[in-house]
Amino acid sequence: MKPYKTILTIVLCLVLGPSVSALGSTEAQPALQDAFKECFLIGGALNRNLVMGKDPNAAQIAVKHFNTATSENDMKWSLIHPRPDRYNWEPADRFVDFAEKNHMAPIGHCLVWHAQVPASTFRDSDGNNLSREAVLARMKDHIQTVVGRYKGRVKGWDVVNEALSDSGTLRQSQWLRIIGEDYIEKAFQYAHEADPNAELYYNDYSLDVGKARCDAAVTLVKGLQSKGIRIDGVGIQLHGGLTYPSPSTLDYALGTLGASGVKVMVTELDIRTQTRGYRGADVSLVNRQNTSDPNASAAQTQTRLAQKYAEIFSVLVKHRKTVSRVTFWGVYDATSWIGGSPLLFDRNYQPKEAFYAVINTAQGKEK
């Protein structure tokens, strides 16, 4: 290499930082979507910076590896419908545009949830609590306005999110307290009316580790089916750790949910490598640059992470006739809501040991 070319390369690396190495390394990587094309769709949760062009290296990873995408935050009620008389469409529009442009199936997340919904949704202009009929009307307006805007463009919707408690009973949310147990079936009805061709999902956490919660999800599915209400799938969030879920509990969840006659999806996959840090669901409170754990990137931790991912994907591949989609909750470590080192790509956009461990499961080489 000539001296001036060497100097130019050094300058570019100093100016562009990780982008040069990231852009240079992706060509040789096998694509996740190709590795699992005979098994299930592979996706990621895309944040606003990615879809609006502010994180091009993350976008490059997503385009190469994913054939489906979920909006991490911008389709949640508080972001897309912050006040009863106001909708904020631009971020969600940009997400759907990005997914379509890059041949990814967009997933809408989520329509009805106990979190990230403005308190004003349940109150009138004077601050008084609304009646069942008034809250139902607001739910219907929200669902049909949002789903209707993206009719024919969004593949499927997380219609109801986290309606169950750990014991398997219904969560005591505002929806349940004001409307009653039928709020779930009403939400699915409204979504189906807005887009009859969209797939409709129920989504929840700990289905992979809690038998009671998993069985309750099956009961929920069968209850909707018995009333002729469309439900196409159940999403297992699978926010795991280095020691959980066990292969047996994940196997039980996939088998039991699949036996109910719906698709099963892993919708929010990551593996916690730290024991501290914010644990809530509101991503606006997350400091994505702080791992809160100096051991998260240690070689031993990364090896354990790779082993856990391989274990999980071995079970998923076993159930490939039932599992229709696997979505990572984030694209690379710096975009994770839990900090640490929970994903397949590090904070410099580079594939980790866990990435190759996952690829190996698709190739039947898991160890």
Amino acid at 188: F
- Pairwise CA distance, residues 61 & 55, whole Å: 10
- Tens-place pLDDT, residues 8-59: 333 333 333 444 344 445 567 899 999 999 999 999 999 999 999 999 999 9
pLDDT for residue 363: 82
Identify the sign of the CA torsion 353, 357, 358, 360. positive
pLDDT for residue 9: 35
pLDDT for residue 263: 98
Q: Phi first, then psi: what are they for 331, rounded to 5°?
A: -110, -45
pLDDT for residue 2: 40
- Tens-place pLDDT, residues 135-187: 999 999 999 999 999 999 999 999 999 999 999 999 999 999 999 999 999 99
> Which of 77-86, 97-106, 264-273, 334-343 is least confident?
334-343
pLDDT for residue 365: 52
pLDDT for residue 356: 97
Q: Catalytic annotation on 27?
A: no
- Tens-place pLDDT, residues 205-226: 999 998 999 999 999 999 999 9
Structure-model confidence comparison of residues 105 and 279, the more confident one: 105
- At residue 5 the predicted structure's pLDDT band, cuts being 50, 70 and 90, is very low
Helix axes 183-194, 132-149, angle to 10 degrees: 30
- Could you give the dihedral angle defined by the CA atoms of residues 248, 160, 281 and 44, in that order, rounded to the nearest 10 degrees? 70
Task: Let me know: does 105 contact 95? Beta carbons within 8 Å.
Answer: no
Q: Catalytic annotation on 366?
A: no
pLDDT for residue 12: 30
Architecture (CATH level 2) of domain 25-275+289-362: Alpha-Beta Barrel (3.20)
What letter would DSSP give residue 67? S
pLDDT for residue 109: 98
* Catalytic pick among 72, 162, 199, 311: 162
- Could you give the dihedral angle defined by the CA atoms of residues 264, 267, 273 and 276, in that order, rounded to the nearest 10 degrees? -120
DSSP string, 311-362: HHHHHHHHTTTTEEEEEESSSSGGG-SS-SS-SSB-TTS-B-HHHHHHHHHH
Hey, what are 72's tokens? 């991490």
What is the Cα 242 distance to its own chain's centre? 19
Rounded to an integer, the average pLDDT of 321-335 is 97
Q: Residue 366: pLDDT above 70?
A: no
Rounded to an integer, the average pLDDT of 128-141 is 98
* Catalytic pick among 268, 311, 353, 366: 268
Q: Residue 367: pLDDT above 70?
A: no
Q: Residue 110: pLDDT above 70?
A: yes
pLDDT for residue 21: 43
- Tens-place pLDDT, residues 272-317: 987 545 555 555 555 555 555 667 768 899 999 999 999 999 999 9
Please measure the distance between the N-terminal and C-terminal CA atoms of the chain and give it in whole angstroms. Answer: 41
- Tens-place pLDDT, residues 344-362: 999 999 999 999 999 999 9
Spell out the domain ranges in the chain.
25-275+289-362
What is the Cα 327 distance to its own chain's centre? 6
